[in-house]
Amino acid sequence: AGWIDEDVIMPWMNPMIVKAWSKLAAYVDYESQRRQEPDYYAHARELAERCIEWRSKNLPEAEITWVDNAL
């Protein structure tokens, strides 16, 4: 909602959001279509897209690392 400056929050928040969204996006899209609710998790989708965009601009060479048996 613009309450917190993205330059302050994005470095901390984007890794968690980008990783989670890479796993959840397909499920959210499926549920949105199945429920016929185009606004289903719309804010989560918008936040993920902003995080992905921020990450590509500010950390263009960063890659997601997946570790077996980790949280």
pTM (two decimals): 0.83
pLDDT at 29 over 80: yes
Which of 11-50 are b and which e, b meaning 16 or more Cβ less than 10 Å from the residue's Cβ? eebbbebbeebeeebeebeeebeeeeeeebbeeebeebee
**DSSP of 30-45, one letter per residue?**
HHHHHHT-TTTTHHHH
What average pLDDT does this structure show over 37-55? 94
pLDDT at 37: 95
Choose between 48 and 3: higher pLDDT: 48
